[in-house]
Amino acid sequence: MSTPISIPGKHNLAVSISPTTTTIHDRFQTRKTGAVGPRTLHSVDNGDFRLLLLENISMEAVNAFRERGFHVDHHAKAMSEDELCEKIPHYHGIGIRSKTRITEKVIRAATKLVVIGCFCIGTNQVDLSASARAGIPVFNSPFSNSRSVAELVMSELVALSRQLFERSYELRQGIWNKQSKGCWEIRGKTLGIVGYGHIGSQLSVLAEAFGLRVLFYDVVNIMPLGSARQVESLSALLRESDFVTLHVPELPETMNMMSTDQFAEMKSGSYLINNARGTVVDIPALVEALKSKHLAGAAIDVFPAEPGSNGAPFDDQLNPWASELRALPNVILTPHIGGSTEEAQRMIGEEVSSALSRYLGFGTTLGAVNFPEVDLRAITTEQSNSIRVCHVHKNQPGVLKLVNEALSPYNVEKQYSDSKGDIAYLMADIADVSLNDVKRLRETIDRTEANILTRFLA
């Protein structure tokens, strides 16, 4: 069984992650083998590290964790807040996609949790501040599904301009309706990209290859790719574009950024595509713009409220306008599949599982979205009886002095610290440490007022 770390004023956090049957005594008795290379580190507290993966995260990620010796429970569906509060106390790590919400209430219930992995681009489904205050870094995969989303947008451009979904539906109903009225080539048209990040810039290159003129709007000045041109305002982009596609994060300032006034600014007969976040479009206002024929069509992949599992209804109980939106012509509705390709899910699984494993095994927080990014070069096989201290603490004066006083009897081989907001993180490797030394160090650091969570890796 793992031994919880006692943190004054906090709940007890078990930080045991060792997947092996070796003991701390075995690891401290390691002798030099003559080979120089990175050592595999384990938590000083023995025990079975348990990981909960939800929402059908790729089996490549599941297998990667199991190969590293972690106990993994894998579920196809999301969990509600109440379900999470019941289950999470038994786990040291959790992996989710976009439907599971990790709220402050869940964080308070997570008495053993030390890391969160979002197997997707966004992290708005996690209370990042509450996680950081509990000493829990959050990792995501900001790049891995960019190509999949960009390709989906390209397919939607063609499908909307050719009324493809309507013609296909009619033929499935036995109706032959060959027509060219209101159908267009996308070559020579103008694509307006709102948000020129990883997805927007990839889309820009693909669109130009199709012969589209590309404009983009972003809150920062960005060097364009190809012949794309940045415009000074959203209004300028809306007035010039035949297609408008959104690629922005969910923030207070992006909430309903496309509403009645913005739709009125768009060209008559233009199209809207949203594969970003469901809250950035005012759907009732979009419905009115489509009903009035001011917009010729739309493609929507994300919604303000989405079902928690496959097979659940997408109806007016979930979103009061659902049936009205579903009834409109030339509207493509997809169930949040922008990043749902085998390639994207495999790359996301590899990236996030690697980030979590690096943090658990080596303490590195590179890529964490809510945490200081700290890393140290690996402890080598030549460095016998060395341990790594991973100390999460409140960002306040005097902490380093206290920690360094605790470490002063030992040879500190390397040390690095950084802070982000109210949270600071220190990593230090110290040599020639005994088991009793580790116990004394733990007690000393745990007693410091700023301590949030401290792990010892050996």
Is residue 336 annotated as a catalytic residue, yes or no? yes
Q: Are residues 235 and 136 in the same domain?
A: no
- Confidence at residue 42, expressed as pLDDT on a 0 to 100 scale: 66
Mean pLDDT, rounded, for 22-48: 51
d(CA 265, CA 288): 14
pLDDT tens digits, 291-332: 999 999 999 999 999 997 889 999 999 999 999 999 999 999
Q: Are residues 241 and 110 in the same domain?
A: no
Is residue 342 annotated as a catalytic residue, yes or no? no
Residue after which a domain boundary falls, among 333, 353, 384? 333
pLDDT band at 383 (very low <50, low <70, confident <90, very high): low
More confident residue, 133 or 41: 133
Residue type, 385: N
Q: Are residues 150 and 138 in the same domain?
A: no
Q: Are residues 240 and 380 in the same domain?
A: no
Q: Are residues 280 and 349 in the same domain?
A: no
Q: Are residues 131 and 199 in the same domain?
A: no
Q: Are residues 310 and 447 in the same domain?
A: no
Residue after which a domain boundary falls, among 283, 310, 333? 333
The domain of 434 spans 4-143+344-457
Catalytic residue among 83, 208, 306, 350: 306
Catalytic residue among 198, 247, 336, 393: 336
- Confidence at residue 58, expressed as pLDDT on a 0 to 100 scale: 87
Q: How many domains does one find in the chain?
A: 2
pLDDT tens digits, 110-168: 999 999 999 998 898 999 999 999 999 999 998 899 999 999 999 999 999 999 999 99
Q: Are residues 294 and 413 in the same domain?
A: no
pLDDT of 435 > 90? The answer is: no
Q: Are residues 412 and 310 in the same domain?
A: no
**Domain of residue 225, CATH code:** 3.40.50.720
DSSP assignment of 174-242 equals T------TT---STT-EEEEE--SHHHHHHHHHHHHTT-EEEEE-SS--PPSTT-EE-S-HHHHHHH-S
Catalytic residue among 277, 391, 393, 442: 277
Residue after which a domain boundary falls, among 278, 308, 333? 333
Q: Are residues 279 and 218 in the same domain?
A: yes
Number of C-beta neighbours around residue 108 at 10 A:
13
Is residue 413 annotated as a catalytic residue, yes or no? no
Query: Do 318 and 311 touch, CB atoms closer than 8 A?
Result: no
Lowest mean pLDDT among 31-35, 102-106, 129-133, 254-258: 31-35
Say if 61 falls within a structural domain. Answer: yes
- Confidence at residue 39, expressed as pLDDT on a 0 to 100 scale: 56
pLDDT band at 9 (very low <50, low <70, confident <90, very high): very low
- Confidence at residue 381, expressed as pLDDT on a 0 to 100 scale: 63
pLDDT band at 1 (very low <50, low <70, confident <90, very high): very low
